[in-house]
Amino acid sequence: MTNKIAKRSLRILVAGGGVAGQALAFWLARGGHAVTVVERSPALRASGAQVDLRGQGIEAVERMGLLLEVRKRLVDEAGVAFVDSRGKPKATIMANTSGKGRQTLTSEYEIMRGDLVRILHEATKDDAEYVFGKSVDGFDQHASRVTAHFSDGTSGEYDLLIGADGQGSRTRRTLLPRGVDPCGMGISGGLVGAYVLAGEINRNPADLPAALANYEQVLRPFVDEIQGEVNPRILRMGMPLSKHSISAFQSVTALACFLHIPDLVARMSTQDRGGDWQLPAFSDALAA
């Protein structure tokens, strides 16, 4: 006996072939949908500095079966040093390698963004259609489908358009009220969000409004958790602009490091970022 339900295969357009867009393509293709990823860059944007995977983001990669690939390409980062104008370290915060508590500024999973993007592309390029050098410039939402308008003047009809077009997302700006910003835990948030969104769509392809409502309900506590951890005032303090404030920041950080405060806080924390929110299971919904 099987609990598989008759699937409705959807035509899904993903705007943006970065981290979240490709993770969406991965899971949606497994759900049996026809996925097109449109990326405005003429080729895969495998650039950027190193990024970190944290908490549930690590588990999301593990569920994709890609953790080993990620591990092979980790950046060897022992910690983060705050340096003076001559490059001399004034304060150093090391990675928490104790296996307990939370990660410091350096995660156990630091990887060059380009390597992560390439791993995701390798895992999805045969299952989803990728179109490079074209952007999604607008869309018209109809009752049960969407018409997407592309930068080359063409249009296409889809059952669903998903905006995975990054921090400056045009799609998100069109839909959300002003002032609603994406959250700092960008990589892990993108991977977790893609997993939950695709999982809910795969579970309920015949009722997209219900799938999207479930996605909001399931993911909201995680988003609240990681957004609540971002205090803009503290972030601003960590990016001082004047000579005096840089010097004050370095003195305070040096004292804190001398007293091992960042290390102790990390080790004594009961949870990593993202709190105790658990990644849901979607096993039967992913069986194509």
Ligand X SMILES: Cc1cc2nc3c(=O)[nH]c(=O)nc-3n(C[C@H](O)[C@H](O)[C@H](O)COP(=O)(O)OP(=O)(O)OC[C@H]3O[C@@H](n4cnc5c(N)ncnc54)[C@H](O)[C@@H]3O)c2cc1C
Tell the smallest beta-carbon distance from residue 270 to ligand X (Å): 25
Cβ proximity to ligand X, 47 vs 155, nearer residue: 47
Q: Which residues bind ligand X (CB under 6 A)?
A: 15-21, 38-41, 45, 47-49, 51, 113, 135-136, 164-167, 170, 186-187, 190
Tell the smallest beta-carbon distance from residue 42 to ligand X (Å): 10
Label residue 114 exposed, middle or buried (CB < 10 Å: 0-12, 13-18, 19+). middle
Tell the smallest beta-carbon distance from residue 213 to ligand X (Å): 22
Tell the smallest beta-carbon distance from residue 34 to ligand X (Å): 18
Q: How far apart are CA 185 and CA 168, in angstroms?
A: 16
Cβ proximity to ligand X, 39 vs 59, nearer residue: 39
Cβ proximity to ligand X, 49 vs 239, nearer residue: 49
Which of these, 55, 223, 26, lies nearest to 130 by C-alpha position? Answer: 26
Residue number closest to ligand X, CB atom:
18
Cβ proximity to ligand X, 263 vs 273, nearer residue: 273
Over the range 132-156, which residues count as b (16 or more CB within 10 Å of their CB) and which as e?
eeebbeebeeeeeebebebeeeeeb
DSSP 96-165: --SSSS---SS-SEEEEHHHHHHHHHHHHTTTSEEEES--EEEEEE-SS-EEEEETTS-EEEESEEEE--
Cβ proximity to ligand X, 161 vs 257, nearer residue: 161
Tell the smallest beta-carbon distance from residue 247 to ligand X (Å): 26
